[in-house]
Amino acid sequence: EVITVQELANRMAEKGADLVKSLFKMGQAVTLNQSIDQDTAELLVEEFGHRIQRVSEADVEIGIEGELDPVESLKVRAPVVTIMGHVDHGKTSLLDALRGTDVVAGESGGITQHIGAYQVTTKGGDIITFLDTPGHEAFSEMRARGANVTDIVILVVAADDGLMPQTIEAINHTKAAGVPMIVAINKCDKPEANPQKVRERLLEHEIVVEDMGGDVQDVQVSALKKTGLDELIEKILLQAEVMELTANPDRAAEGNVIEAQLDKGRGAVATVLVRKGTLKVGDTFVIGAESGKVRALVNDKGQQVKFAGPSVPVEVLGLSGVPMAGDQMTVVENEARAREVAAYRQEQITRKRTASVPTNFENMFSALSTKVIEYPVVIRGDVQGSVEAIVNALNRISTDEIKVRILSSGVGAITESDVTLASASRAPLIGFNVRPNAKARPLAIREKISLRYYDVIYDLLEEVRNEMAGQLAPER
Ligand code: GDP
């Protein structure tokens, strides 16, 4: 948390109360003296029509670094795609098959390197970036660290197996992130494949594919026989076009760590996905709380490159330590400044460990388009009957101004997936007659999830109702 609402208001010469009001519309119950995080601050600054300008050293943390990119500087960038789905449904096979469609891989003479992400150049010359770590845990962990790098999710469902628990988890995580989805119905080469059944089952999760009158694209593929891949690529490009994905390539680079490790010969190495600007050899940077100078850049084909623009994943050499996935990389003008920013971030990290102000990204983004405040929640119960009763009752207490948004509901002990989902959306996690399992418990503590246990539905509803009223109160 980097700046109080009052401070930000002062800097923008706006009324603090107006900011608080705006924050409420975004779904955040924050008072003047409370701090907000970087993304929220940036959004507010933009909402109030201000340009982000440098004022002081710490400002790099709220993105008040340089100016907002002017519209005319924005160029089309490649979409960033993540593949999710149930175990054994073919995520890895599909990633490999898609990689095999790259038309420049052969001629470039490079050797495939697994750096955590790769780019494919299509027959038509378009480029797509795929994140190489499939699964929703990585996706939500990154999101919890503020790295919303994925533009499009491909949900892989095996046509012979249908919707399975992790498929549903992936759907919930994708929905919570508000990222558009393309359904790849895989293993269509199998005689027992039943793609139509998959489409029908998806309806139960409010995913309506185009054939059934909805707006979610779906495609039948076989990662094994390599069929349907061109069509899948076409649909990704179509989705990307609709989204008008752009970035300014002509500025100091910013990006996010996809993965990082300590390499025997090369020292600390991180794969960074550049989000905006162009990262160059020789650039001075801060990653998380580590600083460094780019000694070399290596692409997904194992080739040394001089620079990397928006949506390009590259291995960065020259780090002083190993950062974490999701960490932000920011290029700065000199080493003195890099040290300053690194020290500042270190302090922030320490502070975060001791106190955590829950913020509400999902609320924020959904509220921006709908102007209805949302109260997100994850629910777990001991039996289907009570879970249904709770979901129905919660939906009923929604009003025109504030709406309960159930990110996920299910029967059984609270799992790691529930925790990452709640964490990424800063949502409370409610257990009705259930407790977290052995893995979920420590994770919930680490992520500072608001875990609540109930054994009486009435109590649960009362508390949620009170909190919802609390979020609305200052607007009255
Ligand atoms: P992941 O766990 O989702 O990454 O799944 P994998 O890619 O490891 O695939 C699991 C199994 O399904 C492997 O034995 C694959 O060979 C097989 N598989 C993947 N895609 C297909 C497909 O399109 N058709 C058939 N018949 N098998 C497939």
| Gap between the terminal Cα atoms of the chain | 27
Active-site residue (options: 18, 39, 69, 92):
92
Q: Which pair of tokens denotes residue 127?
A: 């480029």
Among 141, 355, 358, 361, CA closest to 257: 141
Overall average pLDDT of the 393-419 stretch = 88
Q: What does the pLDDT read at residue 106?
A: 66
Q: What does the pLDDT read at residue 241?
A: 94
Q: What does the pLDDT read at residue 473?
A: 57
Q: What does the pLDDT read at residue 27?
A: 80
Give me the chain's average pLDDT, please: 85
- The 10s digit of each residue's pLDDT in 256-275 is 999 999 988 888 999 999 99
Q: Please report the DSSP string for 121-176 in residue order.
A: E-TTS-EEEEESS-SHHHHHHHHHTT----SEEEEEEETTT-S-HHHHHHHHHHHH
Q: Which pair of tokens denotes residue 245?
A: 């994905």
Mapped onto helix, strand or coil, the DSSP state of residue 406 is strand
Q: Is the pLDDT of residue 327 over 50?
A: yes
Report how far ligand 1's centroid is from the alpha carbon of 176 (Å): 27
Enumerate the known binding-site residues. Answer: 85-92, 132-136, 186-189
Q: What does the pLDDT read at residue 348?
A: 66
Nearest protein Cα to ligand 1, atom 10: 88
How many CA atoms, within 13 angstroms, populate the side-chain half-sphere of residue 325? 19
Match 């900011």 to its residue by tokens: 19
Q: What does the pLDDT read at residue 65?
A: 39
Q: Which pair of tokens denotes residue 474?
A: 């200052």
Q: What does the pLDDT read at residue 349?
A: 63
What are the pocket residues of ligand 1 if the criterion is a CB atom closer than 6 Å to any ligand atom? 85, 87-93, 134, 186-187, 189-190, 222-224
Overall average pLDDT of the 203-218 stretch = 92
Best of 93, 132, 157 for a ligand 1 pocket test (most atoms within 8 Å of beta carbon): 93
Overall average pLDDT of the 297-301 stretch = 95
Active-site residue (options: 136, 175, 235, 301):
136
Between residues 141 and 75, which one has the greater pLDDT? 75
Report d(CA 52, CA 313) in Å as an integer.
Answer: 27
Q: What does the pLDDT read at residue 154?
A: 97
Nearest protein Cα to ligand 1, atom 14: 88
Q: Is the pLDDT of residue 295 over 50?
A: yes
Nearest protein Cα to ligand 1, atom 6: 90
Q: How confident is the model at residue 350 (pLDDT cuts 50, 70, 90)?
A: low
Task: For residue 263, count other CB atoms closer than 10 A to its CB.
Answer: 12
